[in-house]
Amino acid sequence: MKFFSDSCEIQCFNSEKVARVKENSLNSEEVLGLTEIFKTMGDGTRIKILHALSQEELCVCDLVEVLEMSQSAVSHQLRVLRNLRLVKHRKEGKMVYYSLDDEHIINLFAQGLAHIRHR
Residues of the shown chain interacting with a copy of itself in the complex, contacts defined by CB under 8 A: 8-15, 17-18, 20-22, 24-26, 30-44, 47-48, 51-52, 55-56, 58-59, 61-62, 64-66, 71, 85, 95, 102, 104-105, 107-109, 111-116, 118-119
25-31 long-range CB contacts below 8 Å, 24 or more apart?
none
What is the gyration radius of the CA atoms in the chain, in angstroms? 21
* Cβ partners under 8 Å of residue 84, min gap 6: 36, 37, 40
- Rounded distance between C-alpha atoms, residue 94 and residue 108, angstroms: 32
If one asks whether residue 11 binds DNA (CB under 7 A), the answer comes out as: yes
Q: Which does 22 bind (CB under 5 to 8 A by kind): a copy of itself, DNA, none?
A: a copy of itself
Binding to DNA (CB under 7 A): which residues in 51-70?
59-61, 64, 69-70
How many helices (H) and strands (E) would you count in the chain? 6, 3
Least Å distance, CB 91 to a copy of itself, is 14
- DSSP E strand stretches across the chain: 58-59, 87-92, 95-100
Candidate segments 26-34, 85-93, 102-110, 111-119, binder of DNA by CB under 7 A: 85-93
Residues that bind DNA (CB under 7 A): 1-3, 5, 9-12, 39, 43-45, 59-61, 64, 69-73, 75-80, 89, 91, 93-96
